[in-house]
Amino acid sequence: MKKIELLAPAGDLEKLKIAIDYGADAVYFGGEMFSLRAGAGNLTAEEIREGVEYAHERGKKAYLTINIYAHNEDIKPLEEYLNRIKGLNLDAFLVSDPGILLLLKEAIPNAEIHLSTQANMTNFKAAEFWHQQGIKRIVLARELTFKEIRELRSNIPDEMEIEAFVQGAMCISYSGRCLLSNFMIERDANRGQCAHPCRWKYSLMEEQRPNEYFPIEEDERGTYILNSRDLCMIDHIPELIDAGIASAKIEGRMKSIFYVATVVSVYRKAIDAYYADPENYSFKEEWLTELKKVSHRQFTTGFYFDRPTNKDQDYQTSAYTRDYSFIGLVKDYDPKTGLALVEQRNKMSIGEEIEIFGPNTKFFTQILEVMLDESGKPVESAPHPQQLLQIQVKQPVAAGFMLRKRK
């Protein structure tokens, strides 16, 4: 049985390495241009080279997104960009624009090409068309049910793979093809600059029809009528695999390393548990509890089981739930002294209960009792961003482990 791929977001080089260390089979990221996450750190050509090497040394894959919808002014810079990166040994490119597909095939004839979700891939005849254009993998639109996915899988060539989102933000427009941001503040979502106006607060008014009301929940302050909950499929791993999905994709190139590490780690455990014993596999509630320790909205299964209803929207707020703070990243560890060198990310103080976790491990809890500054002097609290500290830990750790605390 070919194992489903766990595909993780990498908004910058640090996140790329964290995603791989915590169990991703592959990572996807944008370059400095032509990616739909202009606000992410993204990677320079040299960082792409380093990231690809890091992935390949560990038997993992690296995919580059070039999934904007290009305007005329983008064509020449894109040609130049493709010529600069064509020797970087990338495993695949994600595109949505047929013009970019053509340019990519001209610049890198042997490139493996994946169709981005931005292309609104919703039926098997469209898949047949894209297969004829040389597409190896299709990233499905988020608007498909399991029934539709299974039917699509049975009507496309065996060698054509299916990738689908399993975790992260949902868009209220078909596969992200949205004009709202461009219309309201001239930031084009289809060129990587979405301002997420779907998360803003709105009030509905129709002055000529005072007695006709749109059936939404609202109060005197307005309502978030476009605000979807976040997708979460952690308790449906068997269904994802049974539907013929080859790659389970996590959304979140704008998210923190704490988010990437936590979500990748949880899905890694769940997927591995399924393949270890498919007949006796059972969902563990602790996986969902872990996912809720990162910044998130309430969860939904999106379109997978049926069309979303008002229960899949959050009409009260667009704010994230943040019950835990990411407080530190382990940079080194001395087993003789039990001291970990930690880079602070949020304030922590002596006497607080903290949790520490790392790749392929369960978290452990301890009270923060010993904390030293760079000169070895004891300190009571660490309020300064990214200051280096030595912290006594109760169990062995390693570089890349993370510290968190309940707010």
- Domain with 258, as residue range(s), is 5-175+227-312
The pLDDT of 232-242, averaged and rounded, is 96
Among 312, 340, 363, give the residue marking a domain's end: 312
Q: How would residue 198 be classed by pLDDT, with cut points 50, 70 and 90?
A: low
Tell me the backbone φ, ψ of residue 326, rounded to 5 degrees: -80, 115
pLDDT at 218: 47
Q: In a 10 Å sphere around its CB, with 0-12 CB exposed, 13-18 middle and 19+ buried, how is residue 272 labelled? A: middle
CATH number of the structural domain spanning residue 89: 3.20.20.70
Do residues 153 and 254 both lie within one domain?
yes
Residues 253 and 109 in one domain: yes
Q: Is residue 190 part of a domain?
A: no
Residues 122 and 94 in one domain: yes
Measured from the Cβ of residue 319, the count of other Cβ atoms closer than 10 Å reads: 12
pLDDT surpasses 60 at 39: no
* Across 185-202, average pLDDT: 67
Is 329 among the domain residues? yes
pLDDT above 70: residue 311: no
Q: Is 189 left (phi over 0), alpha (psi -120 to 50) or beta?
A: alpha
Least confident of 22-31, 246-255, 295-304, 371-380: 295-304
Provide the CATH number for the domain around residue 349.
2.40.30.10
Domain boundary among 312, 340, 369: 312
Alpha-carbon span 32 to 13, nearest angstrom:
12
**Residue 236: alpha-carbon gap to chain centroid:** 18
d(CA 216, CA 248) in angstroms, rounded, equals: 33
Domain count, the chain: 2
Is residue 300 in some structural domain? yes
| pLDDT tens digits along 125-142 | 999 999 999 999 999 998
Residues 40 and 162 in one domain: yes
Which of 283, 404, 292, 395 is CA-nearest to residue 354? 404
Are 330 and 298 in a shared domain?
no
The DSSP code for 51 is: H
263 located within any domain = yes
Is residue 308 domain-shared with residue 333, that is, in the same domain? no
Identify whether residues 303 and 331 lie together within a single domain: no
The residue whose two tokens read 């008002």 is: 310
Proportion of the chain above pLDDT 70, given as a percent: 82
Q: Rounded mean pLDDT of 343-369? A: 96
Q: What pTM does this model have?
A: 0.85
Q: Are 140 and 121 in contact (CB under 8 A)?
A: yes
Question: Is residue 184 in some structural domain?
Answer: no
d(CA 55, CA 61): 6
What's the pLDDT at 251? 93
Q: What is the pLDDT of residues 64-80, one digit of tens each?
A: 999 888 999 999 999 99
Residue whose pair of structure tokens reads 């495993």 in the numeric block:
91
Q: What is the mean pLDDT of the chain?
A: 88
Q: Which pLDDT band holds residue 318 (cuts at 50, 70, 90)?
A: low
Q: Which of 286, 326, 291 is nearest to 299 (CA)?
A: 291
Q: For residues 301 and 336, state if they share a domain.
A: no
- Does the residue 231 lie in any domain? yes
Q: Are residues 369 and 236 in the same domain?
A: no
pLDDT at 303: 86
Q: Say how far apart CA 179 and CA 312 lie, in whole Å.
A: 22
pLDDT, residue 230, reads 87
What is the predicted pLDDT for the residue at 221? 47
Residue 40 has pLDDT above 80, yes or no: no
Nearest residue to 121 via CA among 145, 142, 150, 98: 142
Are residues 329 and 253 both part of a single domain? no
Q: 266 and 344 in one domain?
A: no
Whether residue 199 is contained in a domain is answered as no
Examine the domain organization and report whether 297 and 339 are in the same domain. Answer: no
Stretch 338-356: mean pLDDT: 97
Residue 206 confidence (pLDDT)? 62
Task: Tokens for 162, please give them.
Answer: 């299916």
Of 262, 280, 312, the residue that ends a domain is 312
Residue 341 has a CB neighbour count (10 Å cut-off) of 18
> Is 206 part of any domain?
no
- For the chain, the C-alpha Rg in angstroms (whole number) is 23
The whole-number average pLDDT for the span 333-357 is 97
